Structure formats: structure tokens, C-alpha cells
Amino acid sequence: MTRVLVLNGPNLNRLGTREPEVYGADTLADLAKLCAETGRELGLDVDFRQTNDEAEIVGWIHQAVDDRTPIILNPAAFTHYSYSLRDALAQRTAPLIEVHLSNPATREEFRHTSVVAGVATGTIAGFGTASYTLALRALADLL
């Protein structure tokens, strides 16, 4: 089985309670379970993680680069300003798919720019938790 990192940035640990009209009612645990189940169907070993710490997520990315591990990433707020995240991702050695539960292009103007998109293989946004299953399917096709 191919190992895949599914990384989640700040505030995603608040899923289910944070703005459910935007992000849905599913919790982070629900999302982790969905990703694990979808991954098994596709022959992918999903390593699902979340952090509110920019340094921690950059460290995880460095390890993925060294191990040639594909990444599915919801950078959350880091999407719009984290050049350290972008620079780490630019070193990628395997596919990278950026995901978002909501569609940033339909939201506040400051959310319209992604510093990550330019180094990603592709971006999937606006489909709620299905953004993750779509990303896993796209990644399986790429691999």
C-alpha cells in the first residue's frame, strides 16, 4: 500500500462546531475516518494529521519530501500567507493536492489568494468532506 499524508492546518480541529454553515457538521474524527475508509478502498495507507502549529506542519512536509510521500493538504489559514509552508512544499518529490472544504474564491477577498496553489499538482475545493475523497481518488489515479 502506498502511504499518503493527509495534513490539516489551523482550526480544523474545530470542525463540527466552527461555522457549520460553512464547514459542515462533520468533526475532524469523522473526516479522518472517511479518509481512512476511502484510502483502503483505493489501496492507500492514509496517515491523517492536524496541527495549529506552522513549524510542525513544515516539519511533516520536510519528512514527506525526504520519504517521497504524496500529500493531500488543507492548509486552512496558512493558505493565504505562509511562505514557509509554500517553500517547504516547493521541494516536494511526490504529488501534492491542495484541498478545501469550502470554496475560497466565493468567500472573503483575503481568501482568494493561495500561496500553496502554485506548487501543488492540483486543487480541489468547495465540496465539503467530499473534497478529501475526490483528492484521494485523484491521487490514486496519479500514482
45 annotated as ligand-binding = no
What does the DSSP assignment read for 6-30?
Answer: EEE-TTGGGTTTS-HHHH-S--HHH
Does the annotation mark 100 as catalytic?
yes
74 annotated as ligand-binding = yes
11 annotated as ligand-binding = no
80 annotated as ligand-binding = yes
Beta bridge partners of 2: 44
Cell for 20? 457549520
114 annotated as ligand-binding = no
Cβ distance 141 to 122 under 8 Å? no
Cell for 52? 495549529
Does the annotation mark 132 as catalytic?
no
Beta bridge partners of 20: none
Selecting among 83, 100, 112, 132, the annotated active-site residue is 100
Question: How many Å apart are CA 45 and CA 51, to the nearest integer?
Answer: 20
89 annotated as ligand-binding = no
Tell me the binding residues for substrate: 74, 80, 87, 101-102, 111
Tell me the binding residues: 74, 80, 87, 101-102, 111
Catalytically active residues are 23, 100
